[in-house]
Structure 1
Amino acid sequence: MLPELTATRYVTPLKEGGSLPGIVEADDDGTYVLKFRGAGQGLKVLVAEVLVAGIARLIDVPVPDLAVVRLDPRIAKYEADEEVQDLLTASVGTNLGVDFLPGSLGYDGSRPPGADLAERVIWLDALTANVDRTWSNPNLLVWHGRTWAIDHGAALYFHHSWPSRAPSPERFAAQPFDASRHVLRDVAGDVARRHDELAARLTPATLEAVVAEVPEEWIEPTPDLADASTVRAAYVQMLRARLDGPLTWVPEGAAA
């Protein structure tokens, strides 16, 4: 399970993010980028962050450590910015903390990763249908000479339709992925040749362990998914269907 911490101080907002994440200090003396449960995208964004980061670790894509960070209502009282105060008030309870990497730089292509890591990142994004890793929004950091993948809330889009539509593993399995605009496309070689190697790491047991990291209170049952265990099983089923399906989502060809 993810470590559970309590925020001790709200430091500053990161206004470049659409969900207005913020920097907080926690009771482990660490500093975290906090993704708020009260942001407009809702709890499913936090779920996607946990799941994609968990899969990334299984295939050796560097991602910051995650934690569940509890926000006390008293913190909001001392925030002067009305928009931020409203967000903090709406986010009392558990939120997602992403380990802050001090001194990290946003990815600009000047220090690209090797082809091996670039292929892993593209394969990860293709598997999870993460379209949010382009030059418009790279969602990569360079820290201590390594490239780190961040911000995966836009992935696993299928769960946003669950309140009104039953899960469709077949639909997700067949959904193609366009890697032509991916920020690492020109660095990677042939991503398709990596599929068997990387997919072998995502057994049902390892995927179940990743899904188990999501806090129970972030799981949202639906008319078709009556409880948390059923929702968790649906995530595993969707991912397994994509791994075992027609593989139309796997990018082919080498970089130009």
Structure 2
Amino acid sequence: MFYWFLKFVALGPLLKVVFRPRAEGVENVPATGPAILASNHLSYADWLFMPLVIPRMVRFVAKAEYFTSPGIKGWLQKNFFSGTGNIPIDRTSGDAASGALVSAKRVLAEGELFGIYPEGTRSHDGRLYRGKTGIARLTLETGVPVIPVAVVGTDVVAPPGKKFGRITRPTVRFGKPLDFSRYAGMENDRFILRSITDEIMYEIMRLSQQEYVDMYASRAKAESKSESKSEPKKLAS
């Protein structure tokens, strides 16, 4: 109930009036049944605008710590994240990536939409980075189609490192569902997993028109930070 209250009463109408988000290809999102929404990730605002423009709830995984912190703050945090459709990563496997996969499979088994950012983290420079193969394993193990999604303009609304930038009109584009049933039973083949992931990232790139970099975003961020730290030393010398 809290999710729908925020979407249609407390927060959604305000976001629509202020930002007037555009949506393209909404017809590609099924009215019922499970699907994986694979999106680029420019800003923390992505998880607000992507679900806002479609009538169905989109579930995401969130760190388990958001649901287990003690005290009043922890209680508020837990209720907010659970109320907005987020589910904790299942840590029973002892591995965060495997735990996220378990949680995602549970959502899809219930016939819901699951949102995922294949890059694994936000882009620090607006470019699209290499996808992680967890999404390929998820679609093969569940048989659920993948809908590529491009969110454009959210990095202007909330740029990396800032809570708020400036008002612009974000666009959310939904591509046609991708069916990978031809690879059924091959979820342990790392070459197949990479091929599927690259196909998904290509469609996201086509929709978003971002420059693609064949490197993981986490590595690119680390290299960027390292370069920025060494720059003053170069200037000093």
TM-score w.r.t. structure 1 length?
A: 0.28
Q: Which has the higher helix share?
A: 2
Point out which structure has higher relative CO (alpha carbons under 8 A, 6+ apart). Answer: 2
